[in-house]
Chain A
Amino acid sequence: MALRSVTGSDAALTDGLASVPGLELSRYWQDGPAVLLFLRHFG
């Protein structure tokens, strides 16, 4: 259950995250690191 370190081109996956319409995720890593928790569902 450890997090794997990301290197190389995978580091740019955040470009894709930042471009998801309506989410505006990039605002969360402007001033410091961001921990994004992807939930299975709300509830």
Chain B
Amino acid sequence: MQSELDGFRQRGASVVAVGQGTAEEAAHYCEKAGAEFPCIGDAGREAYRVLSLKRGSWWTVMLRSMLTKPLESFAQIRNADLAASQLAASDVLQLGGVAIVRRGGALSFLHVAEAPDDIPSNASVFDALDRMCERA
């Protein structure tokens, strides 16, 4: 995402990362990742619940990827920030999502992840932003 930030800027879009954790943990993540966009901590996962973002099962979050993509899984484990998974507010089964909000506040596009690797490509997010602008 960081590497294609210009694509979002060209479309006039703000990018915001929301994660489980406190404001301090969010700031730490942003700094560590070198993110040039805001990181917001949602320790209570209230925003996740508003959008009905899903919790996975142990099968979808851990076991399936280890069995179907073992090399990628072990690489992810090797590179993981284990401290992040041990944060008090962190639910390891929580899945992510992407929401695109139109200027002024109407939700226009939403992706609710079904698995940890179920993440829309930047190209598909750009396409959604372009479609939203065409409709405006």
Contact = CB atoms under 8 A, between A and B. Distances in A.
Nearest to B86: A43
B63 interface: no
Interface of B: 1, 8, 11-21, 23, 25-26, 28-29, 38-42, 46-48, 50-51, 53, 80-85, 87, 90-92, 94-111, 116, 118-121, 124-125, 128-129, 131-132
A31 B104 CA distance: 8
Contacts of A38: 18-19, 47-48, 51, 53, 96-99
Given A35-B8, A38-B96, A43-B81, A1 B16 contact: no
A20 to B, nearest CB: 5
A23 B135 CA distance: 29
Give chain A's interface residue range (CB within 8 Å of chain B). 35 or more
Chain A contact residues, majority secondary structure: mixed
Interface of A: 1-6, 10-18, 20-23, 25-26, 28-43
A3 B119 contact: no
B47 A33 contact: no
Nearest to A37: B17
Contacts of A21: 46
Contact of B16 (A10, A25, A42): A25
A19 B47 CA distance: 9
Contacts of A30: 103-104
Nearest to A2: B124
Contacts of B17: 37, 39
B42 A23 contact: yes
